Amino acid sequence: MPTYEYQCSACNHRFDELQSFSDPPLKRCPKCKKKKLQRLIGMGAAILFKGSGFYQTDYRSDSYKSDAKAEETKQSTDKTSTDATAKPAAAKDTTVAPAAKKGKSSGKDAKVLSEANR
């Protein structure tokens, strides 16, 4: 419901009134009780959002939230297991790299080793 601004032309009393679109404009001034009230053309009010936030996930069902939490837990578990398997592979590449520096392998082998280190 919009807020309308009114002013009395008899006593210059100015006030705001919350009314529905379908309500007729007020005619009588609440201060002097004369029928000299005019509705003013105002700027209108801006939309004001109050609260912690308005996001798509704010109103999800409980089952969706529990599934999302389970997926997040699964991803963090997969990440830690991937990190554990990546460390031995990095150690293996380090031991092969000094052999490549001694010149015992061809240029093609060095290229393969550098791609494996990525």
**pLDDT tens per residue across span 46-69:** 666 666 666 666 666 777 778 888
The more confidently predicted of residues 98 and 1 is 1
Q: Is the pTM of this model over 0.85?
A: no
Q: Give the C-alpha separation, 85 to 87, whole Å.
A: 6
Q: Residues 54, 55, 57, 61: is their CA dihedral positive or negative?
A: positive
